[in-house]
Chains A and B, each alone.
Chain A
Amino acid sequence: MIQISHVSKIYKSGTVETVALNDVSFEIKKGEFAAIMGPSGSGKSTLMHILGALDTPTSGTYILDRENVEKLSDDQLAEIRNRKIGFVFQAFNLLPRRTALQNVMLPLVYAGVPKEERIERAKKYLDMVGLSDRLEHTSNQLSGGQQQRVAIARSLVLNPAILLADEPTGNIASSQAAEIMEIFQDLNKEGHTIIMITHEADIAQHAKRTIHIRDGRIVNDGNNHKQKKANK
């Protein structure tokens, strides 16, 4: 599903070069639930941007769902993001003053889906995250957990190849964070591929696999299930 090989990202500011990612390679298979962990400044945000086709690597290749992504134009990247990637952000990033339904329909608008079908599909996914009674609520009328569930519905609405979550519980009260993680696990059971970026170890525990990153390099890549067993 995802193949990252020898990916480096170097930021240049004048004559100073900052290496954000240094020769990173890994593979994520269909149906995996992987967490990418690391302290701030480790390069995990840069990795997330490259995985999300928001940015292109300086060198190396990135294959997403059998397509090479590393050398595409801005508009081609926009299309990849639209069709293959579902984003869940830390700050939810819903459009203010728009209803839950309008927010979930937004990716469908850019995909050119006709209006009737948009409404139908958006309702279906809002129902799936348990918000069928909040369709006409605007984002400021919803709690943090509810907003994040709207964002999850929005990320799923075009049935993307991967779900990319960036600190999805970072701005949510812990009781609601558990609900969000449950939704992710349910989605994973249904076969969705999920990559989650976090710096919280207990949140990362919900994933099946954790990739530890530090100073732009992968320092550990292991199966959580086995580790849990080993811990017991």
Chain B
Amino acid sequence: MEYTEIVTEAISTLTVNKLRTGLATLGIVIGIGSVIALISLGQASAQAIQSQIQSLGSNLLTVQPSGQNQGGVRGAAGGGTTLTLEDAEAIQKSSQITTINKVSPEYSSRTQVTTGRTNTNTQVIGVTPVYAEIRKVQMDLGNFINEAQINSMAKVAVLGPTVVENLFGENANPIGQTIRISGQTFTIIGVTASRGGTGFQNQDDIVWVPISTAQKQLFGASHVTSIALEAKSADVMVDAQNQVGYLLLARHKLSDPADKDFSIFNQQDLLNTVNQTTGTFTTLLAGVAAISLLVGGIGIMNIMLVTVTERTREIGLRKALGAKKKVIITQFLVESIILTFVGGIIGTGVGILASYIISSFTSFPFVISPDSIILAFAVSAAIGILFGWYPAQKAANLQPIEALRYE
């Protein structure tokens, strides 16, 4: 018996009871569809978070003062005053540090910002021009802060789009207008392009001012709250971390690394953590979907068992006319494989469609990995064989006399 004939035979048998065939297939459609859609959802969310993190700057290290142990009480991280502009300059100039491209000292604080009529509470960050390069800030209107404005302690400000919206309304052009920060008047010189939230902080709800102005005019501080560093490449991140660490220990006259009054955060560590988390998340989603696939498989087995019982006479006749066990097994296996395979094809379509719909309603990218499709097909064929095997065996082992007698 040629295979094309077995397949046409199986298809004609399956089309006899279309409703039952459809329902049996539906289980697999839902199973495969949800596996594909959920894997896609997991990968899409991972990509979205990664690209957001990377949009904040690549190969980024952040130095922050850490809480110091003072009489056994540990202060909050970032609350220290141990980092200074001189530390930043030293990192920039030191001959021992070979792995750092750019250094951006920052002074950040939350404060009230007002126009005459409106006000908002937002993040004010004192920065140098390097900030825009390291953090990949794009301008929508006007310019970012320049060197001359730092030297002159100019009272100029660059606003994020959310701040503009809160203070001036949507789509307003505030360039040249003034705002008051802690009671002092600043002229707006630029508005940044929107970057969206990162999951940690809204990157659009920030006011940038020259760092000198922030330290001396606004907050009266001599320290910086963080120093952002850009390493030359992703490969030297760990070296950069060590070099900066040793330099700062020396500068702060600390001999024991355990006493260090700063922490260095590596963006790669963050990315790895995020990848790990989203990976776990994706596996979890796929696991849940796999359960529905299993249920679909059991549905196929159930239908095949019903079919075997229903067609006992037919099987008996076929055996009486000379069908060998292998032929009967093949016939039933091919039927169940066709069921699951068709279910797999439709399910893949449904899964891709579902992922597309999800991506169009959210900010997630539309990601379908070929792996998940190959996996879906392999799994659906395997389910066909696995759950079709027992019913097929049952059919093949029927005794022709018993089967012929069966009413």
Contacts and interface: CB of A to CB of B under 8 A. Distances in A.
Contacts of A106: 318, 321
Given A79-B324, A110-B323, A89 B404 contact: yes
Contact of A78 (B1, B313, B322): B322
A93 interface: yes
A110 B322 contact: yes
A156 to B, nearest CB: 12
Interface in A85-107: 87, 89, 93, 95, 97, 106-107
A75 B320 contact: no
Given A55-B401, A93-B404, A106-B318, A75 B1 contact: no
A82 to B, nearest CB: 2
B404 A107 contact: no
Interface of A: 49, 52, 54-55, 74-75, 78-79, 81-83, 87, 89, 93, 95, 97, 106-107, 109-112, 115, 154
B322 A81 contact: yes
A109 B324 contact: no
A52 B326 CA distance: 21
B313 A75 contact: no
Contacts of B2: 115
25 contacts: A54-B320, A55-B401, A74-B324, A75-B325, A75-B326, A78-B323, A78-B324, A78-B325, A81-B319, A81-B321, A81-B322, A82-B321, A83-B322, A89-B404, A93-B317, A93-B320, A106-B318, A106-B321, A107-B321, A110-B321, A110-B323, A110-B327, A112-B1, A115-B2, A115-B5
A151 to B, nearest CB: 10
Given A55-B401, A89-B404, A110 B1 contact: yes
B314 A95 contact: yes
B1 A79 contact: no
Nearest to A76: B324
B16 interface: yes
A74 B2 CA distance: 22
Contacts of B318: 106, 110
B400 interface: yes
B7 to A, nearest CB: 14
A112 B323 CA distance: 11
Interface string B181-200: 00000000000000000000
Interface of B: 1-2, 5, 16, 313-314, 317-327, 399-401, 404
Contacts of A115: 2, 5
A75 B400 CA distance: 12
A75 B327 CA distance: 10
Q: Which secondary structure dominates chain B's binding surface?
A: helix
Given A55-B401, A93-B313, A93-B317, A111 B325 contact: no
B289 to A, nearest CB: 37
A9 to B, nearest CB: 12
Nearest to B9: A109
Contacts of A83: 322
A81 to B, nearest CB: 5
Given A75-B325, A78-B324, A109 B404 contact: no
A106 B361 CA distance: 56
A197 to B, nearest CB: 14
Nearest to B321: A107
Given A49-B401, A89-B404, A93-B404, A111 B314 contact: no
Contacts of B1: 109-110, 112
Give the interface centre of B314, B326, B400 by most chain A CB atoms within 10 Å. Answer: B400
A78 B16 CA distance: 27
Contacts of A111: 322
B16 A97 contact: yes
A64 B399 CA distance: 21
Nearest to A87: B320
B8 to A, nearest CB: 11
Given A54-B400, A110-B1, A81 B16 contact: no
A97 B319 CA distance: 19
- Shortest beta-carbon contacts, A-B, top 6: A82-B322, A110-B322, A75-B324, A93-B317, A107-B321, A78-B324
A52 B325 contact: no
A24 B314 CA distance: 31
A45 B404 CA distance: 12
A117 to B, nearest CB: 13
A55 B405 CA distance: 13
Nearest to B400: A54
A56 to B, nearest CB: 11
Given A55-B401, A78-B325, A93-B320, 6 more contacts: A52-B320, A54-B399, A81-B319, A81-B321, A82-B322, A83-B322
B401 A54 contact: yes
A157 to B, nearest CB: 10
A110 B318 CA distance: 9
Contacts of B326: 75
